[in-house]
Amino acid sequence: MNTPVSFKIALRFLFSKTGTFSSYASFLAIGGLAIGVSALMLTSSIINGFDSIISEKLSSIEGNGRLAHIFGKPININEKSIDSLINARPKSIIPFTSGIALLRYGSKAEGIIIEGLDTLPHSITNINRIIDGSIILGQGIASSLNIKVNDKVYIQSLSSKEPLSNIPKIKSFNVSEIFYSGLQEYDKSLAYVSLSDSRALLSLDAGEISGLIFYDKDNTSKVDIKYPYYYETWKEKHALLFEWISIQRWPAYLMFGLIAIVGLVNLLAAISMIIIEKTNQIGILLAQGMPKSTLRNLFIFQGGIIGLFGGLLGGVLTLIIIFIQLKYKILEIPSDIYFMDQIPVSFDYLVFIIILLLSIILSLFASWFPSRKLSILEPANALRYE
């Protein structure tokens, strides 16, 4: 029966309509904790946003993994081990070719990476298949050379298989589309052509490819890949990037977690001041026979309520900021440094629940410290000046 009484009195102290210091201190404590929780959640959302968006873009372009020759040599697609892999999962394993070339348009030229595919990534274009004689360029290349859709460009082969004494292979292509991935590494260097065109440019025989792209998410450890071939996932290929994100994660949590700790210190000060202000009322309750343990619970409940409302308000504030960023993209960043042109955000409900629970638990713990002085408070001292 004591707990409901403590809870009711805690609510009355928190949300007093008389405009006392208690109500102002409570609202300030809620606001301070909300700002700390919001800062911590925004930090988590931005880090998760970088991780998820980069992962999504890289996996959609690179595939979940690629099989290639360990020495970079061409692979014969009719080889038994390769042919069996493709036949086992024909819709999710796609042959590709890759090599460097020189793109010419007018008097300008730019080095590019040619990738030959029959089935293009959906994140790049809605075109299912690229026809012979067509090329799809990244926006970075197109902007650099002032190329537009339907323009004719020339590709000069730089294949290492060609003798230097030979006349270089130059083939004309019609620009069928310009893609934008948001990753400058690809937008400024990557161009897609058909598999047959890429073989001609890279001096590959009809049955030769650079490797296989795996688009499924099955466990590749079950696939029998032997020397001289190796399998590399998109995450292994960009391991340094994800290691950088991982290194940045915990220092960022620590720095912005300090803001939440400041909110808890503000809560501790608010509870202490409320106890001082309510000393007379506490003395009356003690004189009427209320146990000191019930009074301690009262202020601990008060801290828990502040933690709950502060956490919820911080979560709502975080959602509003994320919504504004996703809709209006007001926070921009240089894409040549951060692989994207705007700050990515991804709200994680699990992280929100963890932070909310931590804010309530730590608020209860912070409220326990000032409430300990009630154990030595006597009714006569509390009512001395009443």
Mean pLDDT by 10 residues, the chain (386 residues): 64 65 81 93 91 87 91 90 82 90 92 91 80 92 94 86 65 93 86 93 90 77 75 89 85 87 88 82 81 84 89 94 91 76 86 90 90 73 60
How many Å apart are CA 108 and CA 144, to the nearest integer?
A: 9
> Is residue 227 a contact partner of residue 70, using CB atoms and an 8 Å limit?
yes
Does 208 lie in the same domain as 130?
yes
Q: Is 226 contained in some domain?
A: no
Write the single-letter amino acid at 283.
G
- Taking the C-alpha atoms of 24, 307, 293 and 2 in order, what is their torsion angle to the nearest 10 degrees? 90
Residue 44 and residue 79 share a domain: no
- H helix intervals, the chain: 2-14, 21-62, 80-88, 139-145, 184-187, 195-201, 234-237, 239-277, 279-287, 292-328, 335-338, 349-371, 379-382
Determine the pLDDT at residue 278.
80
**211 plus 80 within the same structural domain:** yes
Place of tokens 């061409």: 74
208 and 253: one domain? no
Please tell me whether residues 275 and 378 are part of one structural domain.
Answer: yes
Q: Is residue 232 part of a domain?
A: no
Whether pTM exceeds 0.85: no
Q: Is residue 224 part of a domain?
A: no
Would you state the structure tokens that stand for residue 1, as one six-digit string?
């029966």
Instruction: Kindly state whether residues 158 and 48 are assigned to the same domain.
Output: no
- The encoded tokens of residue 120 equal 């293009």
Residue 1 pLDDT: 43
Q: What is the pLDDT of residue 196?
A: 93
Q: Give domain status of residue 75, yes or no.
A: yes
Residue 252 and residue 47: Cα distance in Å, rounded? Answer: 9
- In the prediction, which pLDDT does 259 show? 86
Asked whether residue 51 is assigned to any structural domain, the reply reads: yes
Q: Is residue 231 part of a domain?
A: no
> Where a domain ends, among 181, 216, 251?
216
28 and 69 inside one domain: no
- Asked if 74 and 211 sit in the same domain, the reply is yes
Domain membership flag for residue 290: yes
| Angle (CA) 124 101 73, round 5° | 90
Domain-terminating residue out of 169, 199, 216: 216
> Within a domain: residue 229?
no
- Do residues 197 and 108 both lie within one domain? yes
Could you list the residue range(s) of the whole structural domain that residue 13 is in?
2-58+241-382
Number of domains into which the chain is organized = 2
CA distance 299 to 10: 6
Given a contact cutoff of 8 angstroms between Cβ atoms, the answer to whether 264 and 366 are in contact is: yes
Same-domain check for residues 207 and 295: no
Q: Do 137 and 197 fall into the same domain?
A: yes
Decide if 302 contacts 277 (C-beta within 8 A).
no
Q: Are 36 and 317 in contact (CB under 8 A)?
A: no
Looking at the structure, tell me whether residues 72 and 50 fall in a common domain. Answer: no
